[in-house]
Amino acid sequence: MRKGEIVTAGLLALLSLYLMWKSTELPIGYIAGEGPGGGAWPFWLSGIMLICCGAIAFNWWRQTSPASRSDEPLLDAVGWRMVLLVGGGIVAFVGLVNVISMYGAIAAFLLYYMRYLGRHRWRVSLPIALITPVTLFFFFEGAMQITMPKGMPFTDPVFNVLYEIIY
């Protein structure tokens, strides 16, 4: 567990640095009359992630977290099973984006995660799986003016109705 904590923090810190470097290909500051540059959100969120990784490493060094004092294995059989189930769900999510749209993939993933993995009731899982993508649609498409992947043409009727609400 102790090794897993510092290795994970190190890998995430390297990923943060890479994402910060890559996001500087676009403007990361404020552009007058336009707002934040295209690389602003990725850069600053990666910077926050890097700071968090530093805090984890510091706590690991001081051995203040339970994981930094543990000699237990990082994952047991149940842990590996969950990694595979969640990882498989994420792979399916990414594969579905170009088929049923970003928002449809979010709905499918939330339904899978909440109903199958979380074992929540349908009356909780279904509303969350439907309301969350619609809320994200209005946030990204309406408020932020950022277009997400729409998937195959058979998803157009759903988006046409939502666009009518925005415009």
Is 148 within 8 Å of 96 (Cβ atoms)? no
State residue 144's pLDDT score.
Answer: 87
pLDDT below 50 — which residues of the chain? none
User: What pTM does this model have?
Assistant: 0.69
Element (H, E) at 156: helix 156-166
State residue 33's pLDDT score.
Answer: 86
